[in-house]
Structure 1
């Protein structure tokens, strides 16, 4: 079945921000009244049915279910490993590198909330991943995330060494890799399906 491409009248944001943005797809999401129990199972959290992004992805509920459980485990399972702030930092660095303004806004905001380091997070958005970061752990997580995002083959033993020298153990290093790798994929999916909307009230 061919899908009609949706053209939006708004002007999409073109600068990285920690403000709360919306997102609208270029293809029609599944209508709420067409969701079945199988769809809700794929959403994992029924509240996600309010998101046009997830109602678009739920057209394949089995894939969405696997995607969402993976996402939740990477970012919400805090039984050891990397603190949540740095997991969000890895996602923000990947999103900033890929140019996904929406994802960068979400994960930079979470990184700020968890770390209370607004200026350091904002510097990542304003200056890019190469901007000044004085914390060795943040520098290592950003560098690893960028190398993994740009070309996975660029991520090598030197990144592991930098992360380890910054004080991260094996589980924390795995968390940093998972956060960046997941959003390297998720950014590209979101960028191909729609665009961010301006902050509310702008």
Structure 2
């Protein structure tokens, strides 16, 4: 299933590029899925890693995810898909509430995604300086609030043995990019 999900995502994101670089967009979902696989998560979660931005950023819909990958993958992707009809603030508040109260697999998917985005942002800031913030709908201060809120809420409801190493990597990246 995960190879099928990767192929589906490659096709769906064809021609798209990352916001702050000329890198093909698909490199992001691939890195998210690879991080989930490296942490030995389920095939459904790894597949959701490949597919997590498909409904949000391409013409495909949740029904396409369910038809091709089943209800479990659809549930994971749906939990992490933003409603683009809402404001940036509303979407981010929803994700913060989701990260606090969601099942652990959804938390893993969200944090793997946010970590990859933040690591890439960190590289772009090193290359181009603060002008990178101009590429975002919300600038530095709002991004700081959002990422710090994710970091503060991601552990909620998890036992110590359920916390993957990349959670601390995310918290460290938040501190490097935005300060304490």
Same fold by TM (over 0.5)? Answer: no
Structure showing greater relative contact order (alpha-carbon pairs closer than 8 Å, 6 or more residues apart):
1
State TM-score, norm by structure 2.
0.29
Higher helix share: 2
- Whichever of the two has the greater Rg, that structure is 1
State TM-score, norm by structure 1.
0.27
